[in-house]
Amino acid sequence: MEDNEVRVSERSAYLEPGRNCWRIERADRAALVVDAADYFRLARQAMLRAESQILLIGWDFDTRIFLDHEPDDGAPDRLGPLLSWIAKHRPDVSIHILRWDLGAPKLLTRGTTIFRLARWAMTRQISFKLDGAHPFGASHHQKVLVVDDRLAFCGGIDMTATRWDTRDHLDADKRRRRPTTGRIYEPWHDATMAVDGGAARALGELARERWADAGGKPIAPPDAKRDPWPEALKPAFQKVDVAIARTRGAYEQITPLREIEALFIDMIVRARRYIYFENQFYASRLVAAAIAKRLAEPDGPEFVLVNPNTVQGWLGEEAMGPVRALLMKQMAEVDANGRFRIYTPVTEQGEPIYVHSKIMIADGETLRVGSANLNNRSMGLDSECDLLIDATLEANEGAGERIEAILADLLGEHLGTAPDKVAATFAAEGSLVATVEKLRGSGRTLVPLEIEEPNALECKLAESELLDPESAGGSDEPASRPGLFSRARARFRSRRRR
């Protein structure tokens, strides 16, 4: 603990445990895992190496999904049967599964799921619980897997249907099939972060705390000696400090947390050259206001966002599309120097690739991966968890090269080109926007996001925050901040009158 306190004192002033992060912990190894084909396979390997405890905390789980299409170890390839197999063959391993309670009735319509849950209920080692410890209308949105407190995954990937895909995002890949209907679903882009050491132990604490908040019996920390880190997972970082940031809405005796919101704003304020986002949404008023302020500067940073073409999920395009349209119009009005872009990725044949990842890279110095979306809910209502590696910290010397390589790798995936070419083009152009524009082409690429102007009713719904509130509305939480929307809606009205 004393060593950690010394390291904290060396930090850049902007990282403040208790304000924009929960804590800062050491990881001997850390790695970004892109797309669920790799994550599911690696998670399966890690769980099979567990000695004491597996914690699965998520928005949703589907017991029927394939974790590995070609395993060679004799254990099951699907999530539900795998966990049952581990309980039978590893009697010392306890498994705790926590899922958001809203939408739980859908579990009963998922084929054999009801029988799997009934079997788990009679299995001593497996505990399954629905999480209802959140404000009305809130979502438990964290996606965390912890194995023995020695390895943890934290990011945007849910262990559920329609998430599996490879980084190739092939057109009509027959392995992308829905469990119930067998229909092929669209390509899906996602990401998570793997960490070990103190960072993994901290995420174990977070998961056990969330379990207890949801009404579960307290879970003791595990006692395990074996290293569950999969041999196939090559660490991108070694011996780095990792900041952990959370969002939590006020509920009964649970106090609200807005660390994620503060960290987003601090990163935008600190950026000098560019910020790269991958996110499912672009709907946070606070984040948009911070970006608009930087765009108004004559020599501020560039902002490149990678978004899905249309929004899926329980919020849906009808709720979130008009919000994004309003904010994009507002950005266009303040972006006098052309430093703001939103793109969407497409396959070789031009099919949209759905973007569900939550990644933020700033200046080639900070890498942030987690569950938080760029919407209001993720700032103060839903439960979220993000991880941050900052190369400017003395303890993280050398991490910047890896972060720059990760940016080139991600853009290479989206643009259908080699990461080395992305890095060389970026070095020559000196501009992230110019790099993307130069490398965009036909086939697999990024295309500028085109939006439809929302009508009056859609504008009113967007401004109301009815489906995307910033908080549960308690007295100790901030009031709504709709200023950007009010101005954008007024401009839309003015244009219509002309």
pLDDT digits (tens, 9 = 90+) for 333-364: 999 999 999 999 999 999 999 999 999 999 99
What pLDDT, on a 0 to 100 scale, did the predictor assign at position 7?
40
Q: How many CB atoms lie within 10 A of CB 124?
A: 8
The pLDDT tens digits for 387-401 are 999 999 989 999 999
- The larger pLDDT score, comparing residue 451 to residue 432, is at 432
Distance, CA of 411 to CA of 106 (rounded, Å): 36
Q: Which two tokens stand for residue 192?
A: 């998570």
**Torsion from C-alpha of 323, 328, 333, 336, nearest 10 degrees:** 150
Q: Which residue has the tokens 């009735």?
A: 105
What pLDDT, on a 0 to 100 scale, did the predictor assign at position 319?
64
Q: Which two tokens stand for residue 9?
A: 């004192």
The pLDDT tens digits for 195-249 are 999 999 999 999 999 999 999 999 999 999 999 999 999 999 999 999 999 999 9
Q: Which residue has the tokens 């910033």?
A: 470
Distance, CA of 286 to CA of 288 (rounded, Å): 5
Q: Which two tokens stand for residue 47?
A: 């769980």
Q: Which long-range contacts (CB under 8 A, 24 or more apart) does 45-48 make?
A: 45/230, 45/231, 45/232, 46/145, 46/147, 46/151, 46/153, 46/228, 46/229, 46/230, 47/82, 47/83, 47/86, 47/145, 47/147, 47/228, 48/73, 48/75, 48/82, 48/86
Which pLDDT band, with edges at 50, 70 and 90, does 111 fall under?
A: low
Distance, CA of 481 to CA of 248 (rounded, Å): 19
The pLDDT tens digits for 77-86 are 999 999 999 9
Domains of the chain plus CATH, in order, are 30-239 (3.30.870.10), 242-497 (3.30.870.10)
Q: β-pairing, 359-362 with 366-370?
A: antiparallel
Helix (H) or strand (E) holding 264: helix 259-270
Sign of CA dihedral 96, 100, 102, 105: negative
Q: Which long-range contacts (CB under 8 A, 24 or more apart) does 406-409 make?
A: 406/32, 406/236, 406/361, 406/367, 407/276, 407/361, 407/364, 409/34
Q: For 325, what's the count of Cα atoms within 13 Å in the CB-facing half-sphere? A: 24
Q: Cβ contacts of residue 73 below 8 Å, gap of 6+?
A: 48
Conformational region of residue 398, where left means phi above 0, alpha means psi within -120 to 50, and beta covers everything else: left
Average pLDDT, the chain: 88
* Alpha helices per DSSP H over 111-219: 113-121, 197-213
- The larger pLDDT score, comparing residue 146 to residue 315, is at 146
The pLDDT tens digits for 246-276 are 999 998 888 999 999 999 999 999 999 999 9
What pLDDT, on a 0 to 100 scale, did the predictor assign at position 184?
95
Q: Give yes or no for residue 468 having a pLDDT over 90.
A: no
**Among 408, 407, 400, 448, which residue's Cα sits nearest to residue 424?**
408
- The larger pLDDT score, comparing residue 451 to residue 480, is at 451
Q: How many CB atoms lie within 10 A of CB 297?
A: 10
Q: Is residue 458 within 8 Å of 316, Cβ to Cβ? A: no
Distance, CA of 201 to CA of 244 (rounded, Å): 12
Distance, CA of 251 to CA of 134 (rounded, Å): 6
Q: Give yes or no for residue 495 having a pLDDT over 80.
A: no
Q: Is residue 103 within 8 Å of 130, Cβ to Cβ? A: no
What pLDDT, on a 0 to 100 scale, did the predictor assign at position 329?
87
Q: Which two tokens stand for residue 343?
A: 């793109």
Angle (CA) 307 404 269, round 5°: 65
Percent helix, strand, coil in the chain, to 5, is: 35, 25, 40
Whether the predicted model's global pTM rises above the 0.75 cut: yes
What pLDDT, on a 0 to 100 scale, did the predictor assign at position 463?
60
Q: Which two tokens stand for residue 36?
A: 């669920």
- The larger pLDDT score, comparing residue 310 to residue 483, is at 310
